[in-house]
């Protein structure tokens, strides 16, 4: 069967029957339709009183228009739409049955579905007028066959036939996927999570109410410039959240050079991320920028969904919609469509005179509200489609329409202010975090060393350390650390000298750290998990005079460095109870307490120098913030080289509390022993650690304080944490670079948070925080009155680091002194000011990224890669995975004069092994790609946008399908079924392939993945789950097996482990072996 092959250039071939592929968005709409959603776009054309065509004339015009627009009479045949030859039906309703002006009555006909698969993708309903209502023509179109602009083309063709004019055929088979293939998918969608609030607010009975849908309409006087941006901003304001994501469909026909007419789906979205209370002019500028950059030219998760059989796609969509409904969080807060300006004469003819028209948008899945606007000569028609439980949906829809109308026209809303959830942007002055922002009269007058000595004297028998090795009293820790200090002083360790610290989370390790401080030296924390070469480099870079370690780690140092190595156990064994302690020097507050190395943008790690006064200031504020006292049991489960360790190391020991040591890595057994046997009540951990606790389903009882720090804290994670620890736990989100002594901003959660991320709050008493922006090339402060403004965070005050060890060049760049003689640290972090002054973190202004709480400068990884003889040049960039998490991707140009040549296939593994020997695990690229060139931007930087993204979704396989492909309702054959039919892998092979798939999608090292690894706990969101399962179905299963596989997992989509997914694959294969027939579509 020949296919119509019209291209954007206008070339066409003669054909017998119109035929085109089902595009990925259309597959998505078909799946949604099977969920019971109408998925029908409806164009209503209202007529003047007494004007309506006869049914016979209307049927003739519809039949004639179907010849010109075969897209109006399609039937699905597998993966293709085919012209059925049957024109759309014309129905005649009872007089006066048209909907009323606001769509409160007469809407029953609007809820009727259309079975596009069976050939009923379009229909026309004649609604005769009555005394109180005008006549109207209702054109109903399944979104699976046309988009809004395509529907307009068909409807205008019907009226052209009624007027007796020559037809203007729209016979191009072009749809979005084909156009993307021809003009290029140059745009990129943001990571889409189910995290957006509804502008309808929290509906009563949302969890249990019966799903319902309503439409509402408002006719606004005049036309309104920048209407789409105005509507989008109004929806963002209506959510009540700090920010909201709005989806704006863009007509792709603007990219067809010759204007070839096509009625199929040729719309793809751009997304606007808008602040509550923002200016619509800013929204308009963002929208124009998106259009100028052609951001709509990008595929999304629907491409992965389209690879699945329709029943499987339907079940996955059902699961996603269930999650969205249960949590009342969605892919976008609303869809905002603008059909442009309509000329009513184009919708008149055959005795019918149009006086108005409007579009009723579909009830789309994963989005709670859809809006459509049409501008006429003297007025604007705005309609919304709303979904939710029936109980108060209609009332909320009315309130929403009142708000939209008031925003557009500038009038006061007709309805009372709608109910909303607690305001996430309420002034922070009412929160505990805000109360800590009042600075004290003076800086702390004692160092942490003096405070610890005093506490040990007050409570010598209290437990200072607890854990698997047993309790250690304050007196014993004081004695052991004195012994370490005495040995360092005996060896001539100078004041403020740098002493390395390579120890575990153990009593010996803590004695070593406090001993270094008591000796007047500063400690340099090193991580035993880091490669030996990295440890040696840091010791040499810092000029360490010695390194304290434990006996089982000595071999890590003796072979790698010339630094003098001391085993803590040897020092403690040599010391005796009767030994008189060496007189320790007094500690000057301006002395260095520690140096921590972070990733460096110049290719070298850089040492951040923290003074005793800064550490004491942090400890004083954090003690109050976390509620530390003598009953505190603070869990220590991070690395010494991660500055968050300052929370458990210092806070409890200055106030008679206990450090609970977790010597092992945070595995299920280690964490289980921690929470059940040692029962800490205070934690300072990254959200990644929180996810581990959630994943292992560990009971956290009696937790007093939970500090989330080191990574962005999403509200979803905060909600999960709250459910796990209970209502009485103080949950805090802390923010701060290492250069500001651990944290400098904090927000105490109080239940009012409703945005996608938890604010980072207000500064503590020893740090001043400013937001600045560039205005005409000059840096200007952003005042507290500018709610919603975005700028770079600058930090000053007592908590500020001295600078970088031995790097005056970096000090001048990152710690500039202003005209006011105040020294500030440029964080490179961008934040938004919320009402009340609190800040919300939104990203970086440079290449630095955070992975699992670690700051990473890609340039450091690049420098290491270029040290390998097989690499001529390298580039490293952070890529976003399908789940929204981040992974490092390296691109390398192989050296042309290699003494030992490596094949392109071998080189990535060799380079990952090479970097793993020199860098910490978080700096090892997840993916290494060998490329033929590293293109440059006009500024001379590597153009990563021109390089392949290893995490990008695969192209839609149906786009290039031939006319002879089997339909998805055809029993699989050896040729049609693909590699999954040829040979079914054994269980171990399935596990291997699953591990490889998850590693690729999540950017996670395969060595970290095991049977209990949970896809979502590792960063895969709901849309990534769809992609993952669709890939499995495509690569490992037949169509009937895929259907059984998805059904099997339906009740376990929140707990997808490798073991569970693998078991489901095997069960599906056993139940539906490869010779099975009857794959259902």
DSSP-assigned states of every residue in 58-114? HHHHHHHHHHH-GGGSEEEETTEEEE-SPPPEEEEPPTT-S--TTSSSS-GGGG---
Q: Is the pLDDT of residue 377 over 70?
A: yes
Within 8 A by CB and 6+ apart from 572, the residues are: 480, 483, 484, 508, 511
- Quick: pLDDT tens for 851-883: 655 667 777 788 788 888 888 888 888 887 655
Split at pLDDT 50, 70, 90, the class of 516 is: very high
Contact 627/507 with Cβ under 8 angstroms? no
Quote the percentage of the chain above a pLDDT of 70. Answer: 82
For the four alpha carbons of 933, 939, 943 and 946, in that order, the dihedral sign comes to negative
Least confident of 161-165, 328-332, 868-872, 948-952: 948-952
Query: Is 80 exceeded by the pLDDT of residue 119?
Result: yes
Residue that wins the pLDDT comparison between 954 and 900: 900
For 836, list phi and psi in degrees, rounded to 5: 95, -10
For residue 938, what pLDDT is reported? Answer: 45
Interatomic CA distance for residues 718 and 724, integer angstroms: 10
Q: How far apart are CA 106 and CA 245, in angstroms?
A: 33
What average pLDDT does range 608-617 have in this prediction?
Answer: 96
Q: Are 189 and 268 in contact (CB under 8 A)?
A: no
- pLDDT at residue 943, rounded to an integer: 74
- Listed residue (518, 164, 480) closest to 350, CA to CA: 164
Please report the pLDDT score of residue 248 as a whole number: 95
| Mean per-residue pLDDT, 323-345 | 89
Contacts of 1010 (CB under 8 A, 6+ apart): 1058
Q: What is the mean pLDDT of the chain?
A: 82
Mean pLDDT of 73-86: 93
Residue whose pair of structure tokens reads 């249990």 in the numeric block: 208
Closest among 705, 673, 710, 704 to 689, alpha carbons compared = 710
Write the CA distances from 913 to 560, 658, 910, 953, integer angstroms: 18, 40, 5, 27
- pLDDT attached to residue 69: 95
Residue-wise pLDDT for 651-689, tens only, equals 999 999 999 998 877 666 777 788 888 899 999 998 877
Under the banding of pLDDT at 50, 70 and 90, the label for residue 986 is low
Task: Report the pLDDT averaged over residues 996-1013.
Answer: 77
Nearest 10 degrees: CA dihedral of 623, 629, 630, 631? -120
pLDDT at 729: 94
Strands 136-142 and 40-47 turn out to be antiparallel
CA 502 to CA 1062: how far, in whole Å?
A: 41
CA distances (Å), 280 to each of 236, 287, 381, 401, 937, in order? 10, 10, 19, 18, 32
Give the C-alpha separation, 984 to 472, whole Å. Answer: 57
- Confidence at residue 534, expressed as pLDDT on a 0 to 100 scale: 87
> Maximum CA pair distance of the chain?
113
Q: How high is the pLDDT of residue 973?
A: 27
**Given this model, what pLDDT does residue 290 score?**
82
Picking from 144-153, 403-412, 478-487, which range would have the lowest pLDDT averaged per residue?
403-412
Q: Are strands 682-685 and 839-844 parallel, antiparallel or unpaired?
A: unpaired
The partner residues of 43 in beta bridges, in order of sequence, read 139, 359
What is the mean pLDDT of the segment spanning 1058-1080?
A: 67
Question: For residue 897, is pLDDT > 60?
Answer: yes
Q: State mean pLDDT over 834-848.
A: 79
Mean pLDDT, residues 187-195 taken together: 79
> What are the structure tokens assigned to 244, written together?
């909201």
In the predicted structure, residue 542 carries a pLDDT above the cut 90? yes
pLDDT at position 224: 84
Residues 563-591, mean pLDDT to the nearest whole number = 79
Is pLDDT of 801 > 60?
Answer: yes
Q: What is the DSSP letter of 1014?
A: B
Interval 768-789 mean pLDDT: 82
Task: Report pLDDT for 581.
Answer: 53
> What's the pLDDT score for residue 10?
36
pLDDT category, 956, cuts 50, 70, 90? Answer: very low
37 phi, psi to nearest 5 deg? -85, 140
Whether 6 shows a pLDDT value over 50: the answer reads no
Cα–Cα distance, 965 to 776 (Å, whole number): 59
Q: Half-sphere exposure (CA, 13 Å, Cβ side) for 661?
A: 21
Query: Is 592 within 8 Å of 610 (Cβ atoms)?
Result: yes
- Cα 771 from Cα 657, distance rounded (Å): 37
Distance between CA 546 and CA 485 in Å, rounded? Answer: 13
Residue 946 pLDDT level (bands cut at 50, 70, 90): confident
Q: Average pLDDT of 76-81?
A: 92
State the number of CA atoms in the 13 A half-sphere of 570 facing the CB: 12
Residues 6+ apart with CB under 8 A from 186: 294, 297, 298
**Other beta carbons within 10 Å of 720:** 16
Element (H, E) at 888: strand 886-894
Residue 63 contacts residue 72 (beta carbons within 8 Å): no
Question: Is residue 1075 pLDDT above 50, yes or no?
Answer: no
Q: How does residue 1080 score in pLDDT terms, banded at 50, 70 and 90?
A: very low
- Spell out the long-range contacts of 285-288 with Cβ–Cβ below 8 A and sequence spacing 24 or more: 286/229, 287/228, 287/229, 287/232, 287/248
Instruction: Report whether pLDDT(793) > 70.
Output: yes
Domains of the chain: 19-174 (3.30.559.10), 181-349+366-409 (3.30.559.30), 448-453+460-833 (3.40.50.12780), 849-946 (3.30.300.30), 979-1071 (1.10.1200.10)
The C-alpha atoms of residue 340 and residue 84 are separated, in whole angstroms, by: 31
Which token pair is 591?
């002395």
């Amino acid at each position: 069967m020949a296919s119509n092959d019209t291209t954007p250039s206008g070339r066409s071939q003669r054909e017998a029957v119109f035929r085109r592929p089902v595009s990925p968005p259309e597959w998505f709409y078909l799946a949604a339709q099977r969920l019971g959603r109408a998925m029908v776009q409806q164009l209503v054309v209202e007529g003047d009183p007494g004007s309506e065509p006869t049914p016979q004339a209307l049927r003739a015009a519809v039949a004639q228009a179907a010849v010109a627009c075969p897209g109006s009479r399609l039937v699905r045949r597998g993966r293709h739409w085919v012209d059925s030859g049957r024109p759309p039906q014309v129905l005649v309703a009872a007089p006066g049955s048209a909907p009323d002006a606001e769509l409160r009555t007469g809407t029953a006909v609007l809820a009727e579905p259309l079975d596009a698969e069976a050939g009923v993708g379009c229909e026309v309903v004649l609604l005769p007028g009555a005394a109180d209502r005008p006549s109207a023509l209702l054109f109903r179109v399944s979104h699976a066959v046309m988009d809004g602009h395509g529907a307009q083309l068909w409807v205008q063709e019907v009226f052209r036939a009624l007027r007796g004019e020559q037809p203007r055929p729209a016979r191009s088979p072009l749809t979005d996927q084909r156009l993307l293939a021809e003009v290029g998918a140059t745009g990129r969608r943001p990571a889409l999570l189910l995290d957006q609030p509804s502008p309808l607010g929290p509906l009563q009975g949302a969890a249990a109410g019966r799903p319902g849908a309503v439409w509402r309409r408002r006719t606004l006087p005049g036309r309104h410039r920048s209407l789409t941006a105005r509507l989008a901003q109004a929806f963002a304001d209506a959510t009540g959240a700090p920010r909201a994501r709005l989806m704006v469909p863009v007509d792709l026909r603007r990219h067809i050079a010759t204007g070839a007419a096509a009625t199929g789906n040729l719309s793809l979205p751009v997304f606007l991320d808008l602040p509550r209370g923002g200016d619509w002019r800013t929204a308009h500028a963002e929208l124009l920028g998106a259009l100028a950059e052609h951001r709509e030219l990008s595929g999304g998760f629907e491409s992965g969904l389209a690879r699945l059989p329709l029943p499987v796609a339907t079940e996955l969509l059902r699961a996603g919609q269930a999650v969205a409904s249960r949590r009342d969080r969605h892919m976008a807060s609303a869809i905002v469509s603008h059909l442009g300006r309509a000329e009513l004469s184009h919708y008149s003819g055959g005795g019918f005179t149009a006086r108005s028209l409007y579009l009723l948008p579909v009830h789309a899945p994963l989005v709670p509200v859809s809006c459509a606007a049409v501008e006429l000569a003297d007025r604007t028609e705005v309609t919304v489609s709303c979904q939710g439980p029936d109980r108060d949906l209609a009332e909320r829809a009315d309130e929403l329409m009142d708000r939209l109308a008031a925003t557009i026209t500038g009038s006061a809303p007709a309805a009372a202010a709608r109910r909303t959830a607690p305001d996430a942007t309420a002034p922070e002055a009412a929160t505990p975090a805000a109360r800590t922002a009042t600075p004290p009269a003076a800086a702390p007058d004692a160092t942490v060393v003096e405070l610890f000595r005093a506490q040990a004297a007050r409570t010598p028998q209290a437990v200072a350390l607890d854990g698997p090795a047993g309790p250690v009293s304050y007196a014993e820790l004081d004695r052991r650390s004195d012994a370490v200090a005495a040995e360092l002083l005996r060896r001539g360790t100078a004041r403020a000298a740098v002493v390395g610290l390579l120890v575990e989370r153990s009593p010996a390790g803590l004695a070593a750290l406090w001993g270094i401080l008591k000796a007047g030296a500063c400690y340099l924390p090193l991580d035993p998990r880091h490669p030996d070469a990295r440890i040696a480099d840091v010791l040499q870079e810092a000029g360490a005079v010695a390194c304290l370690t434990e006996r089982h780690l000595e071999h890590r140092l003796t072979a790698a460095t010339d630094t003098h190595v001391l085993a803590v156990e040897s020092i403690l064994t040599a010391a005796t109870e009767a030994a008189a302690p060496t007189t320790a020097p007094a500690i000057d507050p301006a002395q260095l307490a520690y140096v921590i190395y972070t990733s460096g943008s110049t290719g070298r790690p850089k040492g951040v120098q923290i003074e005793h006064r800064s550490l004491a200031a942090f400890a004083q504020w954090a003690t109050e913030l976390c509620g530390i006292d003598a009953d505190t049991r603070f869990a220590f489960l991070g690395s010494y080289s991660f500055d968050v360790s300052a929370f458990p190391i210092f806070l409890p020991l200055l106030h008679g509390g206990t450090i609970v040591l977790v010597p092992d890595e945070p595995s299920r057994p280690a964490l289980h022993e921690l929470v059940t046997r040692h029962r800490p009540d205070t934690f300072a951990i990254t959200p990644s650690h929180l996810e581990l606790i959630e994943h292992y389903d560990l009971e956290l009882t009696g937790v007093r304080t939970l500090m989330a720090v080191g990574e962005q804290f999403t509200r979803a994670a905060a909600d999960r944490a709250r459910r796990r620890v209970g209502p009485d736990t103080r949950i805090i989100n802390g923010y701060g670079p290492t250069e500001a002594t651990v944290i400098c901003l904090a927000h105490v959660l109080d239940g009012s948070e409703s945005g996608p991320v938890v604010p980072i709050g207000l500064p503590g008493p020893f740090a001043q925080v400013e937001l600045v922006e560039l205005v005409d090339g000059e840096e200007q402060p952003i005042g507290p009155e500018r709610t919603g403004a975005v700028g770079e965070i600058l930090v000053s005050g007592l908590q500020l680091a001295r600078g970088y060890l031995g790097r005056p060049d970096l000090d001048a760049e990152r710690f500039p002194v202003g005209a006011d003689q105040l020294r500030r640290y440029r964080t490179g972090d961008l934040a938004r000011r919320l009402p009340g002054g609190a800040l919300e973190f939104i990203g970086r202004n440079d290449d630095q990224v955070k992975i699992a709480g670690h700051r990473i400068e890609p340039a450091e990884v690049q420098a290491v890669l270029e040290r390998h003889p097989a690499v001529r040049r390298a580039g490293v960039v952070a890529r976003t995975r399908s789940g929204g998490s981040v992974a490092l991707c390296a691109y390398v140009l192989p050296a042309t004069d290699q003494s030992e040549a490596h094949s392109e296939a071998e080189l990535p593994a060799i380079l990952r092994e090479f970097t793993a020997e020199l860098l910490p695990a978080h700096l090892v690229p997840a993916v290494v790609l060998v490329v033929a060139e590293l293109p440059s931007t006009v500024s001379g930087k590597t153009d990563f946008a021109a390089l392949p993204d290893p995490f990008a979704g695969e192209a839609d396989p149906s786009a290039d399908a031939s006319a002879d492909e089997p339909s998805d309702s055809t029993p699989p054959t050896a040729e049609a079924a693909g590699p999954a039919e040829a040979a079914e892998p054994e269980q171990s092979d399935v596990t291997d392939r699953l591990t490889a798939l998850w590693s690729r999608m999540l950017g996670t090292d395969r060595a970290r993945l095991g049977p209990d690894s949970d896809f979502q706990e590792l960063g895969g969101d709901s849309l990534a789950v769809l992609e993952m399962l669709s890939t499995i179905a495509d690569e490992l299963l037949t169509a009937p097996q895929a259907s059984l596989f998805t059904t099997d997992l339906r009740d376990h989509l929140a707990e997808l482990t490798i073991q569970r997914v693998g078991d489901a694959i095997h069960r599906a294969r056993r139940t539906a072996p490869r010779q099975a027939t009857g794959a259902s579509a």
